[in-house]
Structure 1
Amino acid sequence: MLPTVEDFLKEFQLSSSDLVFASSGTQKRHLAGKLSGATVIDYRAYGQGEPTDLMVEGIVKALGGKTYDRVFAIGGGTILDVAKLFALEKLSPVTDLYQKKFPAKKAHKLILVPTTCGTGSEVTNISILELTKLGTKMGLADAALYADQAVLVPEFLKGLPDRVFGASAIDALIHSVESYTSPKSTPFSRTFSRRAMDAIIEGFLAIQKDGLPAREAYLEKFLIASTYAGVAFGNAGCAAVHALSYPLGAAQHVPHGESNAVMFAAVYEAYKNKRYDGYLEKLTLHIANLLRTTEDEAFPKLMALLDEILPKKPLKGYGVKEADLKDYTDIVMTKQGRLMANNYVELTESDVMGIYQKLYNQA
């Protein structure tokens, strides 16, 4: 943890031998005139929205074989996920990398600095990209993608747009919940899951009471909670909420945290309808305790709270057509097995289609 941007810059002494990924907004707010001749990449110059294979290939082409010693990623999940790939010896063709047609081998030191409180990517070995040729998002999980150093700088969170803050913080909450109910969870990972959800819900309740400016007093807590959630899902994995959100994010360019928020309640209702016991029951009781409500009202009250942080829409409100739902279901069942293996209970093709159909008209 380094409290300020100046502390970070003093510690790492950026130079011309460094490759730095940072958005133009982050550069203007925090890094203007401070990057010391480093090669700077603003991914927005290579495409809009969530990270894609086309963005990555565009950056590879722009670098033109330039050499560098360290890779810094200063940004949200998109920037961190893209920058991880540039620490590898070879990353192109990136679609072949994600399909494991050649191995991921680390060649450069990697320093990850989150500027949102949602991704947890700074402590995971996962990079998520939209692979346009395959029509979906996919994750590459490999030890070569771990950061050599993850640096938390709360000052970087100042000035986040409200929707960016809301989407990222809700994403971190979902990371903590999905990892808690994953069959791969352990006492270790569940401890991090609980710590993350406790801090995030505490912060959300403060915002509900005193308005969005109240979040400023909680920035450090939100940032640490996001990292705790990253440790949790890095060990236990995410599941169907993420799996079902990826086709929506890829096709309609809905921000990752928002697309997860759309799927959250319906997925957990589907789990509960199949089997309500074990860590799903414990999760529900824990949320009820945090919200000072009953077991039956735990999830409804949580979803109402999240809607105050980030209002969401039914699927058709994002431009989804009813005919798309079958395609989305096919993508989940054929391309997202890595995530679906972490479901609390098995969800069939019919279950997934039913969730999408329910959400088509209902937020």
Structure 2
Amino acid sequence: MMRPMKLAGSELMFGEGCLEYIKTIDAKKVSIVVGGKSMERSGMLAKVEGYFHEAGAETMVVKDVEPDPSFETVMRGANEMLAFEPDLIVGLGGGSAMDAAKAMWIFYEHPELKTMESVLPPNPFPTLRKKARMCCIPSTSGTASEVSRSIVISDNATGLKHGLGNMEMMPDIAICDPEVTASMPAKITAETGMDALTHALEALASTRANYVSDILATQSAIDIMETLPIAYENGADMHAREIMLQASMVAGMAFTNVSLGIVHSMAHTLGGMFHVAHGLADAILLPYIIRYNSTDAKAKEVYDTFAKKVGAENLYEAVEKLNKRLNIPSCLQEVIPDEAAFVEKLDEMAALAKADGCTKTNPIIPELEEFKELFMKAYRGE
């Protein structure tokens, strides 16, 4: 039996100029969560705050969310919110800022919870929206956290990443204005765009895929493969930025309902162990996993049908070609040069990838030895 679907929160805005929608949002006190300095440098933070001020809201900013948001940062932000008492929380930035904002929301609403483990399964997920609503404004076209029920938070002590998903965390408001993404450097455009493509292609091959998710995943993947090189080569092309942001959002609608596969399981593991940027890990792994999954007849049919739609003979070669155009490395060795360190962690990586929540909806569930082989093939480019 399929699970009930939820495609977004109550208010979904997209298209150039939609940032101004902020002026219509009913809020008195707004906590805005940002990552590094990019939203300040681009003027987007000031613009967002200005719109809220025009609407009569008071704002405060939670700054310095790191690329892999840590639980320590989450608790710092939650404590700042407890002092300020917002009725709206805004995640402004890439996936890290949005994920951190959603995690801070949990611990702001429930200060009695003190550990990440307290909200992880099998513990019941706490009820939200007693104090605040959630708004996400993405600055990258990749994670789709603005229409996702999921977050990834790092453990300070171990460096491992905890993935958590619950529809309670679906943001109430998503504002997807390409102007916010215009300052993305080419490298980040490529990596986050490949994260979005991975979302779409893994949703297509998911064992939970259905009629609605297939429509969303197929069109978003077609648009990403066509538009990502344009956005990469000319970041000032606002039409390409707009298509990428919308395609990322739609891919997010697909995967948040039908889940993902082992590209994400392995990428989460590589991020935790070797701090490889998530989109970069996805991009490198994707062609290897398409080839592996193609040994399953149903998955092969899904990939072959999609490949025809983008004028390719087979999908993994089309992805390899796209990676090359985006200057993405062809194997993990190019980003993790210490092979001995990589091999030493192989058993642990295989166990973590197998236990990852994304593995259970992959077309094939690899055994530990198969995971080790896949990691080594992607490492050596075999």
SS in 2 for 1:294: coil
The separation in 1 between residues aligned to 2:266 and 2:95, in whole angstroms, is 18
Shift of residue 346 of structure 1? 2.2
2:228–2:240 contact (8 Å) kept in structure 1: no
The separation in 2 between residues aligned to 1:65 and 1:168, in whole angstroms, is 34
1:116–1:165 contact (8 Å) kept in structure 2: yes
1:179–1:238 contact (8 Å) kept in structure 2: yes
SS in 2 for 1:341: helix
Shift of residue 18 of structure 1? 0.9
Q: Which of the numbers 51, 55, 60 marks the counterpart of 1:39?
A: 60
The separation in 2 between residues aligned to 1:288 and 1:34, in whole angstroms, is 42
SS in 2 for 1:151: strand
Residue aligning to 1:18: 30
2:149–2:256 contact (8 Å) kept in structure 1: yes
Q: Identity across aligned pairs (percent)?
A: 19
Shift of residue 102 of structure 1? 5.4
Residue aligning to 2:94: 76
The separation in 2 between residues aligned to 1:2 and 1:262, in whole angstroms, is 30
Q: Which amino acid aligns with 1:324?
A: K
The separation in 1 between residues aligned to 2:237 and 2:305, in whole angstroms, is 26
The separation in 1 between residues aligned to 2:152 and 2:253, in whole angstroms, is 16
Q: Which of the numbers 192, 197, 205 marks the counterpart of 2:216?
A: 192
Q: Which of the numbers 329, 351, 354 marks the counterpart of 2:370?
A: 351
The farther-off stretch of 179-188 and 315-324 is 315-324
Going from structure 1 to structure 2, the CA distance change for 1:197 and 1:34 (only over 3 Å counts) comes to: closer
Question: TM-score, normalised on structure 2?
Answer: 0.84
The separation in 1 between residues aligned to 2:372 and 2:215, in whole angstroms, is 33
Residue aligning to 2:347: 326
The separation in 1 between residues aligned to 2:27 and 2:45, in whole angstroms, is 11
2:228–2:244 contact (8 Å) kept in structure 1: no
Residue aligning to 2:281: 259
The separation in 2 between residues aligned to 1:288 and 1:60, in whole angstroms, is 48
The separation in 2 between residues aligned to 1:159 and 1:144, in whole angstroms, is 31
Q: Which amino acid aligns with 1:293?
A: A
1:126–1:139 contact (8 Å) kept in structure 2: yes
Q: Which amino acid aligns with 1:18?
A: V
Question: What aligned pairs does 1:273-284 form with structure 2 within 5 A after superposition?
Answer: 274-275=295-296, 277-284=297-304
The farther-off stretch of 130-139 and 116-125 is 130-139
1:5–1:155 contact (8 Å) kept in structure 2: no
Shift of residue 100 of structure 1? 4.8
Q: Which amino acid aligns with 2:103?
A: L
Once the two structures are superposed, what CA deviation does each residue of 1:105-130 show, in whole Å capped at 9, x if it has no partner? 20311111111111111111111112
Question: What aligned pairs does 1:226-305 form with structure 2 within 5 A after superposition?
Answer: 226-272=248-294, 274-275=295-296, 277-290=297-310, 292-295=311-314, 298-305=315-322
Going from structure 1 to structure 2, the CA distance change for 1:33 and 1:356 (only over 3 Å counts) comes to: closer
1:71–1:109 contact (8 Å) kept in structure 2: yes
Q: Which amino acid aligns with 1:280?
A: K
Shift of residue 314 of structure 1? 3.3
Shift of residue 341 of structure 1? 0.7
Q: Which of the numbers 154, 158, 168 marks the counterpart of 1:144?
A: 168
Structural RMSD (CA): 2.4
Q: Which amino acid aligns with 1:316?
A: Q
The farther-off stretch of 342-351 and 237-246 is 342-351
The separation in 1 between residues aligned to 2:79 and 2:378, in whole angstroms, is 40
Question: TM-score, normalised on structure 1?
Answer: 0.88
